[in-house]
């Protein structure tokens, strides 16, 4: 015999928090139907009523008919469907848990990295108080370094000789 479910196992308030505002009406309608179904199921007794076979034997004139019905009724077993999906759902949930954990770890690593960048930026001198040497110390790859990396004015990357592109339509130089 299947076990009787006394209450709904759905956490409706947690579900309502995740449902978009435009679909709340559909969720409310679904909850109403679910609650009505649960009330109808709970209105019935958990076990079917017992049949008084002795009374039927006295009333039915055909001998053996009630005995045949009683044997067939008692032999009747309505199978409760086997649960074949729970293991698949659990496997999917375990996979999702792993993905959630890896996402949380990656997010925490990003948070730590960005927090370090924020702290480094807060520790810098304000730009209006910075000297060229302070800027070079704070941003060594972006600062001008005329001795080790000389550049041409206006000192932008596209105006430097290593970034000049040959024009394929230009005449060849002799």
What does the pLDDT average to over 31-57? 87
* pLDDT tens digits, one per residue of 12-23: 888 899 999 999
What is the predicted pLDDT for the residue at 99?
Answer: 97
* pLDDT tens digits, one per residue of 46-101: 787 888 989 988 898 888 899 999 999 888 888 888 888 889 999 999 999 999 99
* 158 assigned to some structural domain: yes
* 135 assigned to some structural domain: yes
Residue ending a domain, choose from 71, 94, 117:
71
Cα–Cα dist 140/149, whole Å: 11
Q: Count H helices and E strands in the chain, helices first.
A: 6, 0
The 3-class SS string of 84-107 reads CCHHHHHHHHHHHHHHHHHHHHHH
The DSSP symbol for 127 reads: G
Q: Which residue has the higher pLDDT, 172 or 160?
A: 160
Q: Which residue has the higher pLDDT, 58 or 166?
A: 58
Residue ending a domain, choose from 71, 89, 105:
71
* Contacts for 163 with CB less than 8 Å, ≥ 6 apart: 157
Cα–Cα dist 71/65, whole Å: 10
Residue recorded with tokens 């810098």: 124
* 50 assigned to some structural domain: yes
* 84 assigned to some structural domain: no
* 173 assigned to some structural domain: no
* 108 assigned to some structural domain: no
Residue ending a domain, choose from 30, 49, 71:
71
Residue 95: Cβ within 10 Å count: 10
The number of distinct structural domains making up the chain is 2
Best CA proximity match to 39, nearest among 8, 2, 11? 8
pLDDT at residue 159 tops 80: yes
- This prediction has a pTM of 0.43
Question: In which domain, by residue range, is 19 found?
Answer: 11-71
* 23 assigned to some structural domain: yes
* 4 assigned to some structural domain: no
What is the predicted pLDDT for the residue at 80?
Answer: 80
């Amino acid at each position: 015999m299947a076990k009787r479910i006394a209450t709904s196992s759905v956490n409706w308030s947690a579900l309502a928090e995740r449902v978009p505002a435009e679909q709340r009406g559909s969720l409310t309608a679904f909850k109403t139907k679910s609650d009505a179904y649960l009330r109808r199921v709970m209105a019935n007794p958990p076990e079917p009523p017992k049949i008084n076979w002795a009374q039927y034997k006295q009333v039915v004139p055909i001998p053996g008919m009630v005995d045949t019905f009683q044997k067939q009724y008692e032999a009747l077993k309505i199978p409760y469907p086997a649960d074949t999906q729970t293991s698949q759902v659990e496997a999917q949930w375990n996979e999702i848990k792993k993905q959630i954990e890896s996402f949380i770890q990656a997010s925490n690593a990003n948070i730590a990295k960005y927090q370090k960048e924020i702290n480094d930026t807060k520790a810098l001198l304000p730009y209006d108080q910075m000297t060229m040497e302070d800027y070079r110390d704070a941003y060594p790859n972006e600062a001008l370094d005329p001795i080790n990396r000389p550049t041409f004015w206006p000192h932008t990357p596209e105006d430097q000789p290593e970034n000049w592109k040959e024009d394929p339509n230009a005449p060849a130089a002799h």
